[in-house]
């Protein structure tokens, strides 16, 4: 397969239109069989449920080339499960897991020319999403939906090398107790936009959100879960019913325990403890782990001992091991690597 003529290592994280996308429609209580199409546009009623009441959920995962030249995705079954949970919470029909994985496979195979080569650092980002399509004016769930997956090649996350981030503790809340923080719904991201634009204006890279009930516990950022390393080398990650269950974080905990022999703790993490950690990172599909160098709590700086120039040693081991598994350099646990071709 001839690859597209793209400068892979200089790609950013933006939308590049590719050849094919998958579409399936839900009507009269069932999904149609779904097709690949070249049409990148969605034409909707002016009154579509998604436009009026934000009835939309999505996922994000990557396809890439392994060391031995296979095109694969990482744990797409977990994206399928999470999208089913997201849909159910917004009263949308679920898109069946087997069909989700099949649609991922079809989209990647049809756009194989856009899957970046091994070693470029670039990947093919996949965006499954679903939205209410029929006219809805009274506040209620739509009756008709569209499920789509498009893909776009994205560049290496750490282009000029790794740069630890500076975070601020955010006074805006991300998720309410018993709300929708644990699902991947567009509404959670719409309401985070003001907070992130404001953080950037103030010179911070990201917001650290706290639990909105007590404002004493660490939750997550707008797009990644936290992972901390204690001074005695335990891996700690916040446990909360209002954070998104990150697939990367769950995978890293397994790697920490089973590959690196580290003790792991999934528990409530208090703001008060931040000063005692040795390392901190953000974990998610985009970067796997981005190191955090500094957290600012209303003017008070908490500087992680790992510093502002590199990843902490344990964070680095976790990063190297998980990316090694993803790229086929280290044997993967059963079922983690979904081979497309
Ligand atoms: C709010 C939020 N938390 C965490 C994550 C990381 O999740 P994952 O590792 O599944 O990409 C994401 C990105 O998907 C996110 O949007």
Tens digit of pLDDT at every position of the chain (341 positions): 789 999 998 999 999 999 999 999 999 999 999 999 999 999 999 999 999 999 999 999 999 999 999 999 999 999 999 999 999 999 999 999 999 999 999 999 999 999 999 999 999 999 999 999 999 999 999 999 999 999 999 998 777 778 999 999 999 999 999 999 999 999 999 999 999 999 999 999 999 999 999 999 999 999 999 999 999 999 999 999 999 999 999 999 999 999 999 999 999 999 999 999 999 999 999 999 999 999 999 999 999 999 999 999 999 999 999 999 999 999 999 999 999 99
Task: Name the residue at shortest CA distance from atom 4 of ligand 1.
Answer: 224
- CA–centroid distance, residue 34 to ligand 1 (Å): 27
Q: Which of 184, 231, 257, 275 is catalytic?
A: 184
* Cβ–Cβ under 8 Å, residues 149 and 21: yes
Neighbours of 340 (CB within 10 A): 18
The pLDDT value recorded for residue 109 is: 98
In ligand 1, the atom with minimum distance to the C-alpha of 251 is 9
The pLDDT value recorded for residue 249 is: 98
Of the residues 58, 223, 251, 252, which should be mutated to test ligand 1's pocket, given the most ligand atoms within 8 Å of the CB?
A: 223
Neighbours of 102 (CB within 10 A): 14
Task: Name the residue at shortest CA distance from atom 16 of ligand 1.
Answer: 223
- CA–centroid distance, residue 80 to ligand 1 (Å): 14
The pLDDT value recorded for residue 152 is: 98
Residues with CB under 6 A from ligand 1: 60, 220, 223-225, 244, 246-249, 284-285
Question: 259 by DSSP, 3-state: which?
Answer: helix
Of the residues 76, 179, 221, 285, which should be mutated to test ligand 1's pocket, given the most ligand atoms within 8 Å of the CB?
A: 285
- CA–centroid distance, residue 187 to ligand 1 (Å): 14
The pLDDT value recorded for residue 35 is: 98
Question: 252 by DSSP, 3-state: which?
Answer: helix
The pLDDT value recorded for residue 157 is: 78
The pLDDT value recorded for residue 161 is: 79
Task: Name the residue at shortest CA distance from atom 1 of ligand 1.
Answer: 223
- CA–centroid distance, residue 129 to ligand 1 (Å): 15
Q: Give the tokens for residue 282.
A: 């953000």
The pLDDT value recorded for residue 156 is: 81
In ligand 1, the atom with minimum distance to the C-alpha of 82 is 10
* Cβ–Cβ under 8 Å, residues 318 and 255: yes
Sign of the Cα torsion 288, 339, 325, 153 reads negative
Task: Name the residue at shortest CA distance from atom 3 of ligand 1.
Answer: 224
- CA–centroid distance, residue 211 to ligand 1 (Å): 17
Q: CA angle, corner 247, sides to 42 and 303, nearest 5?
A: 110
Of the residues 58, 60, 74, 207, which should be mutated to test ligand 1's pocket, given the most ligand atoms within 8 Å of the CB?
A: 60
- CA–centroid distance, residue 79 to ligand 1 (Å): 10
Q: Which domains does the chain have, with CATH numbers?
A: 8-154 (3.30.470.10), 165-326 (3.20.10.10)
Task: Name the residue at shortest CA distance from atom 2 of ligand 1.
Answer: 223
Catalytic site includes residue 97: no
Q: What global pTM score does this model have? A: 0.97
The pLDDT value recorded for residue 9 is: 86
- CA–centroid distance, residue 138 to ligand 1 (Å): 32
Of the residues 78, 222, 244, which should be mutated to test ligand 1's pocket, given the most ligand atoms within 8 Å of the CB?
A: 244
* Cβ–Cβ under 8 Å, residues 142 and 136: yes
In ligand 1, the atom with minimum distance to the C-alpha of 59 is 14
From residue 200, give the alpha-carbon distance in Å to each of 150, 182, 204, 320: 29, 25, 5, 29
The pLDDT value recorded for residue 257 is: 98
Residues paired with residue 130 on neighbouring β-strands, in sequence order: 57, 147
In ligand 1, the atom with minimum distance to the C-alpha of 188 is 1
């Amino acid at each position: 397969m001839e690859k597209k003529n793209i400068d892979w290592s200089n790609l950013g994280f933006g939308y590049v239109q590719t050849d094919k996308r998958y579409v399936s429609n839900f009507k009269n209580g069932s999904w149609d069989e779904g097709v690949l199409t070249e049409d990148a546009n969605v034409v909707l009623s002016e009154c579509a449920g998604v436009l009026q009441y934000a009835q939309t959920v999505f996922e994000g995962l990557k396809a890439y080339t392994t060391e031995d030249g296979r095109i694969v995705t990482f744990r797409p079954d977990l994206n399928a499960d999470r999208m089913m949970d997201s849909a159910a919470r917004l009263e949308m029909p679920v898109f069946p897991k087997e069909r989700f994985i099949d649609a991922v496979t079809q989209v990647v195979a049809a756009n194989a020319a856009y899957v970046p080569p091994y070693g470029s650092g670039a990947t093919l980002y996949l965006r499954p999403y679903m939205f209410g399509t029929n006219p809805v004016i009274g506040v209620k769930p739509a009756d008709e939906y569209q499920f789509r997956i498009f893909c776009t090649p994205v560049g290496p996350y750490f282009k000029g090398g790794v740069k630890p981030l500076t975070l601020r503790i955010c006074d805006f809340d991300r998720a309410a107790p018993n709300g929708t923080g644990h699902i991947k719904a567009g509404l959670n991201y719409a309401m985070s936009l003001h907070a992130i634009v404001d953080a950037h204006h103030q010179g911070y890279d990201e917001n650290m959100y706290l639990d909105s009930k007590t404002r004493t516990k660490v939750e997550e950022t707008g797009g990644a879960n936290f992972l901390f390393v204690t001074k005695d080398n335990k891996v700690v990650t916040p446990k909360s019913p209002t954070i998104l269950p990150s697939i990367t974080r769950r995978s890293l905990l397994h790697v920490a325990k089973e590959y690196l022999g580290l003790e792991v703790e999934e528990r409530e993490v208090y703001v008060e403890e931040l000063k005692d950690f040795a390392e901190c990172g953000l974990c998610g599909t985009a970067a796997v782990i981005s190191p955090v160098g500094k957290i600012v709590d209303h003017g008070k700086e908490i500087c992680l001992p790992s510093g502002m120039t590199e990843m902490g040693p344990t964070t680095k081991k976790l990063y190297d091991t998980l990316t090694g598994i993803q790229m086929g350099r280290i044997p993967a646990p059963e079922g983690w690597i979904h081979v497309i071709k």
